[in-house]
A and B are shown apart, each in its own frame.
Chain A
Amino acid sequence: DTAVSQTPKYLVTQMGNDKSIKCEQNLGHDTMYWYKQDSKKFLKIMFSYNNKELIINETVPNRFSPKSPDKAHLNLHINSLELGDSAVYFCASSQLGGWGQYFGPGTRLTVT
């Protein structure tokens, strides 16, 4: 019955690897987001998709590529991982124009 789910919960990998994080929401929302939370707990938007179309793309390195196969899923692929990519990544969803965004449990990415 989880509203917004992410996999994996934890991801430990080495520099230079490519990895993906998956997100699914069963709320029927049409907009999904990826956020990055750094070690100081600061939350920053990375991407936003509405009905599978990219609508917000903050200044994120192009090593990060979101993909939305349908409006219930938004995956994040990261190429050539760097130490600075270590953070907790949160997926969220909402109705477009509906201000309440619902967050997933997060994926803690550690790059060694």
Chain B
Amino acid sequence: GQQLNQSPQSMFIQEGEDVSMNCTSSSIFNTWLWYKQDPGEGPVLLIALYKAGELTSNGRLTAQFGITRKDSFLNISASIPSDVGIYFCAGFTNSGNTPLVFGKGTRLSVIA
């Protein structure tokens, strides 16, 4: 089935640093979503992107829908300890009843 390649797999950063992660696919996606999962919890939707080239912010988070529609990135500025978690990209290749495809996640650790 469809796969999303998410990188990096894990990151260790100092508090206050900026973070960047991305997601690529060999197929065109119509929608990109970014989720965060805290330990023992379900994924929480952070940002949704619906149009190629779209740049959307949610507080210190910024995500972009790649112009080729085959990639997306997520930036976190001035990281804080509560940013720790697993970040997943996800997307739909089509409208209607196609399943949401998830990347394998980026595990973020923030060192205070």
Chain A residues within CB distance 8 Å of chain B:
4, 33, 40-45, 48, 50, 55-56, 58, 90, 92, 97, 99-106
> Which one of A55, A99, A104 contacts B50 once the chains associate, using CB atoms below 8 Å?
A99
- B95 in the interface (beta carbon within 8 A): yes
| Contact residues of B between 61 and 112, Cβ < 8 Å to A | 86, 88, 90, 92, 95-97, 99-100, 102, 104-105, 107
Q: Chain A contact residues: over half helix, strand or loop, or mixed?
A: strand
Residues of chain B whose beta carbon lies under 8 Å from any beta carbon of chain A: 31, 33, 35, 37, 40-45, 48, 50, 86, 88, 90, 92, 95-97, 99-100, 102, 104-105, 107
Closest CB-CB distance, A107 to chain B, in whole Å? 10
**Is there an interface contact between B33 and A103, defined as CB atoms closer than 8 Å?**
no
Residues of A within 8 A of B107 (CB): 41
- Residues B86 and A101 in contact, CB atoms below 8 Å apart: no
Residues of B within 8 A of A55 (CB): 97
B100 and A42 within 8 A (CB):
no
Nearest chain A CB to B56's CB is how many angstroms away?
A: 12
List 16 A–B pairs whose Cβ atoms lie within 8 Å, in order of A's numbering.
A41-B104, A41-B105, A41-B107, A42-B104, A43-B90, A48-B99, A55-B97, A92-B42, A97-B96, A99-B33, A99-B48, A100-B48, A101-B100, A103-B42, A105-B40, A106-B42
Q: Are A56 and B88 within 8 A (Cβ)? A: no
CB distance from A101 to the nearest CB of B (A): 6
What is the count of residue pairs linking A and B with beta-carbon distances less than 8 angstroms? Answer: 54
Name the residue of chain A whose CB is nearest to the CB of B97.
A55
**Complex CA–CA separation, A97 to B50 (angstroms):** 12
The answer for the CA separation of A12 and B5 in the assembled complex, in Å, is 33
Output the least CB separation between A2 and chain B (Å): 11
Asked whether, in the complex, the Cβ of B97 is within 8 Å of the Cβ of A56, the reply is yes
Residues B31 and A44 in contact, CB atoms below 8 Å apart: no
B109 to chain A, nearest CB (A): 14
- Smallest distance from the beta carbon of B102 to chain A beta carbons, Å? 4
Whether A43 lies near B31 (C-beta < 8 A) is no
